Structure formats: C-alpha cells, structure tokens
Amino acid sequence: MKFSSNHILLSWLPQLNSQVWILAVARFLSQSGSGFTLFYAPIFFVNQVGLSATAVGIGHGTGSLVGIFGRFLGGSLADSKRWGRRRTLLLSTVFCALASFVLALSNNFPMFLAAHLVMGLGTGLYWPTVEAAIADLTTNEQRNEAFAVTRLADSAGLGIGVLLGGVLISTTELYRALFVIDGISYVVFFMIVYAGLRETRHFDEQHSQPVLQGWNAALSDRLLLVYVSVNILFTTYIAQVDNTMPLYFANFVLGKTLKGLSPTTISGLFAWYIFLVALCQLPAVRALNSLSRVRALMISIVFWGAGFLLVWSAGVATHGQQILAILALSVIAIAHVTYSPFATAFVAEIAPESLRGIYLAINAQCWGVGFFVGSFVGGLALDHQKVASQTMTSGFTANNLWLAAAASTLVGFVILKTLDWMCDRQETTFI
C-alpha cells in the first residue's frame, strides 16, 4: 500500500530533468529563509527601529532600482560563454547572503538602504539566471509545469518561513534573528548549487551575439515590449501584497481590540495565502494548460482586480474585517498562481535560445520597476492615511490605493487582449 501511494504521488508529479528538481530544492530552502523576513521586515523597521513607512518604501524601491542594473548584468552574464548560468547564480547568492547579514545589524536608514542596495544587486543577478537555467532544461511543452514546480517550491518555502517566523516573533520578539536565518539560507543555496548544478547553457556559438546587439534585438521585439507594459502592472501588484499589505493590516485594518491586526493574525493570514499558492500552483497550471499563456494571464488579472476590491472592503468595513482579509488573500492567491508560471513561460517561448538570458532579464526588469513603483506608492499612501486619520483630512490614502489598483486591472486586461491578438496574427502569418 505504501509503495502504491508513493507510486501514485510520483506519477502525479511532472516528469522533469533532475537538475530542475535540484534547483527547486535550493529555491525551497532559500525561500524558507526569505519567508522569515518578507512580511515582518516592514513592521520591524517602522514600529521598532522607528523608520517612516515612506523611508522603508524608499529603501525597498531603491533596492529595486539597483536590481534593474543587476538584471541587466545577470542576463548578460548568463548568456556569456565565460560566466554562464551556474557562476552567475553562485554570485547572486553571495550578494543576497551579505545583504541579509547587514539587515540583521541595521539600526538606521543608511544601513537599511545599503543592505537593500546589495540585496537588489543579488536578486537582480538571480532571477533571469535561474529562469534561464530552467528554460534550458525543459522543452516548450514542459515549461508551464516546470515553472509551476519551482514557484511551488518558492511558495512552500515562503509559507514555512512565514509560519516559523511568526512563531519566533510571538515567543521571543527577536526580529533581528529573522535576518540571520535568511542569510544562512542563502549560504545553503550556494552550497547546493555549487555541488549539484551543472552549467545548463548549451547552444551553437555561431548564433550568439555581442551583449549590446543582443539587448537591441530583444528591445526591438514588439511582442516582448507589449508584454512588458502589462507585466509591470502585475509586479506592482505583487509589491503591494509583499510590502504594503502587511503594514496596512497591522496599522489600519481594525481587529478585535479596535487596533490594527496583531502580528500573530497577520502571520496566519499570509501563511494561509502562501499555503494556498503552494496548494493551487500545479492544479491551476494543469487546468489552464489548454489555453494560451496570454489568455491564462487574462484570467489572472481579473482575480487581481477582485482581490484588491476585497482588501479595500476590509479596510473600510466596521465588522468582519478578518473574514474579508482572508477572502482577499485567497482570491489574490489564485491570481498569483495563474500569473507566475505562465508569464515566465511566455517569455521563454518567444525568446531565441541564444538570447534567453537577456529576454528573461527584461522579464525580470519588470519586477525591479514594479517593486520600485509599488513600494514607493504604497509607503506614501500609508503615511498619508496616517496623517489623514490624525487631521481628519482626505487625499490619496491607502484605502484609495486598493481602489486604484483594482481599476488598473481594466487597463491590464485591454493590453493582454491586444497581446493575444498580436500572437494570433503572428501565428497566422507563419502558417
């Protein structure tokens, strides 16, 4: 019976290259460390260190801007013969580990900012490289599920990290220990990649191009440019969930004591959100595999809009706030699982093999831009909300932020509809 159960489980999992599973394990461990800090860092630096929400937003946003340079460098190094995917990935983990340890020591804005600059460079190197490696190791037909597996590893790791981080905070209040654990997780990631991952970059050198020529070719691809315009919206949404929403729930959504929701409640909410992302990732991809990747993204953006409306409802409601928060994060979880694997697989699909790192670097650039805009606007809205509450004035507050985000999904849907038409037209031209 035990053998039968294991056989059924293994048959349910996608049949992928063993190197993909090594990367998934490494990502699970590193994201477990990130989960310790992801939702608690804004709360710690605002409520205990004493930085303003705007300052925290600037720190996150500036790190994201440095990440833009990091992604440019990461895509170029990943496609180069001298560096390739493996060495670039190892370099990224060194920067991320260093940034985590600096955050553990930060007690003022300059140190906080410096840590985010280093982290921005590390994550910038990381994302295009790891996605290019996964694309190298899979066929076009396998990529939806391959990217879903690695996103599942990310989500499961984050969920465990958030849950354990909440336990650690509720029992010890040692926020700085969270950043130390995060740094150690990157060290473990380095060791796994160093010992277990072979170089995945393999294509005919005669098809390779100089770096600037490759970037020029990618930036001339109309399909990619239209996709980028909507992907920046998607990444801005994720920035609001990661950086703005925890602090919004902590300071502006009323709990049972007529104050913001407690850290334990917020921990439970986001642990549920990440658990649901992990639970639904593979089933969602398999349910939508018959659709084109752009049409799957159209479904995703509808869920994003509905989720933001529910967050707004939680902020203005006089009762049932926690139920509305749970519903909001549940809908956003569905939005997330119908976005991440299809977005990355779409870029891998349209990219020439020799420019895969650069194309995926441009895809990752959207995260840098989206997190800069999302973090800055989110922090500004939270500070305005605080001032408005104290002075009884109005303006662009956090409550308005969620309505604006919901309205922006209509623009995103139109862009995706245009992209879908362009893809259909291109296929017709090739037939």
Find all residues with CB under 8 Å of 228, minimum gap 6, and list them: 362, 363, 365, 366
pTM value > 0.95: no
Would 290 be classed as within a structural domain?
Answer: yes
Would 207 be classed as within a structural domain?
Answer: no
pLDDT tens sequence across 150-202: 988 988 888 788 788 888 888 888 888 989 999 999 999 999 999 988 888 87
d(CA 417, CA 411): 10
Would 137 be classed as within a structural domain?
Answer: yes
Which token pair is 280? 């639904």
d(CA 278, CA 28): 11
Q: How confident is the model at residue 112 (pLDDT cuts 50, 70, 90)?
A: very high
For the segment 9-24, the average pLDDT, to the nearest whole number, is: 78
pLDDT at 3 over 70: no
**Considering only 52-61, 383-392, 420-429, which range has the smallest mean pLDDT?**
383-392
Can you give the residue range of the structural domain that contains 121?
Answer: 18-197+219-425
What is the residue-averaged pLDDT of the chain? 85
User: How many domains are there within the chain?
Assistant: 1
Would 7 be classed as within a structural domain?
Answer: no
Would 365 be classed as within a structural domain?
Answer: yes
Neighbours of 196 (CB within 10 A): 14
CATH number of the domain encompassing residue 114 = 1.20.1250.20
Would 163 be classed as within a structural domain?
Answer: yes
> What does the angle CA 201 – CA 226 – CA 352 come to, to the nearest 5 degrees?
20
Would 12 be classed as within a structural domain?
Answer: no
* Predicted local confidence at residue 311, as pLDDT: 93
Would 203 be classed as within a structural domain?
Answer: no
